[in-house]
Amino acid sequence: MPGGVGLDIGASKWVLVDQKNPAVQIRGRTADDPIQCLREINAALLDNVGPTVPLGISFPGSLNKEGVVESWPRRPTWVGCQLFEGMPWADPCITLVLDDGICAALGERRRAGEGLDSYLCLTFGTGLGGVAVVDGLPRGSRSGGARTFGHLRVPGVTTPCPCGRQGCLQAVVLGERRDRSTLEELLAGARRGYLSTVVADFVTASGLDGVVLTGGLLGHVPEFADFLLRELTEEFAGTGCDARLSSRPHESALLGSLDLAVAATGGSLDASFDYIRPRRDADRFTERHGRVLQGSVHSCSRRQR
């Protein structure tokens, strides 16, 4: 299996991990200034990883096909930034970016999802992500509707959501304080949104084998994770479905970004994913890349999507 580097860019911090040395994680703070932050990441890559290594990036905001940030409610100053502009280390031929919820689902396939043919991976962070994994492959959402599971609408509820709609599940459950909510607020939100019932009904009606719970919020508030696990286990009684909790919910997206790095070199992930691959002029890239790497020769022959 080819090596690679995983990068998880979150709202408060970024984390880098090299597949060759997974015990060492390099971390930094996600700044308001995106170019400054991306330059720090670039410097960390230059200092710690050799050239032309596949890179998988987990990113929470929405990006267009050019890699420009279109929305990121927690970091609005990043809107309009081209993700690769400050990161010349990233080789456009062997770099892929994917939604952090899908990366988390990738990361749990060989962990909490082990042994389940199909399941819903729910990610609790700043928002509520949900991705169905079927036969080992995560299924991305269709465009035009709910972008993630958290934007399923609760009928009769008018709580505004940053996405512009009203009554989205994540707005009802997580409230405005999002990942800074207290246990009491989270429990009240889960009950208000009938979270366990909605999730259990979705899983059983879709014929999935169970649900995997993960995301940084569950690491911060483990009592909330235990509550959800208990409620879902009760909901699943007699259905044969399983409710499981990630053992390291902070790291799912980071581990998934490593899987993505492997896919960047031609690995077998679902081609229907909405990957973002850096689009840069290859000659211009090679010139910049060579300069940054102090003259190392680099060729880029694969077609860019």
Give the residue with the Cβ less far from Zn ion, 51 or 194. 194
Which ranges of 141-297 does DSSP label H, i.e. alpha helix?
Answer: 169-174, 183-192, 195-205, 216-220, 222-235, 252-264, 282-292
Give the residue with the Cβ less far from Zn ion, 169 or 213. 169
Helix axes 195-205, 183-192, angle to 10 degrees: 50
Question: Nearest 5 degrees, angle CA 247-CA 3-CA 114?
Answer: 30
CB of 78 to Zn ion, least distance (A): 19
Q: Which residues contact 269 (CB under 8 A, 6 or more apart)?
A: 106, 137, 259, 260, 263
CB of 146 to Zn ion, least distance (A): 7
Give the residue with the Cβ less far from Zn ion, 118 or 141. 141
Distance, CA of 46 to CA of 54 (rounded, Å): 14
Contact between 9 and Zn ion (CB under 5 A)?
A: no
CB of 152 to Zn ion, least distance (A): 9
Give the residue with the Cβ less far from Zn ion, 118 or 170. 170
CB of 192 to Zn ion, least distance (A): 15
String marking each residue 271-300 x if it binds Zn ion according to CB under 5 A: ------------------------------
Give the residue with the Cβ less far from Zn ion, 34 or 167. 167
Q: Considering CB under 5 A, how many residues would be counted as binding Zn ion?
A: 5
CB of 276 to Zn ion, least distance (A): 21
Can you point out the beta strands (E) in the chain? 5-9, 13-18, 25-29, 55-59, 62-63, 69-71, 95-99, 118-124, 128-134, 137-139, 210-214, 242-245
- Written as six digits, the tokens of 53 are 């290594």
Binding to Zn ion, residues 148-187 (CB under 5 A)? 151, 161, 163, 165, 168
Give the residue with the Cβ less far from Zn ion, 55 or 168. 168
| Residues within the interface to Zn ion (CB under 5 A) | 151, 161, 163, 165, 168
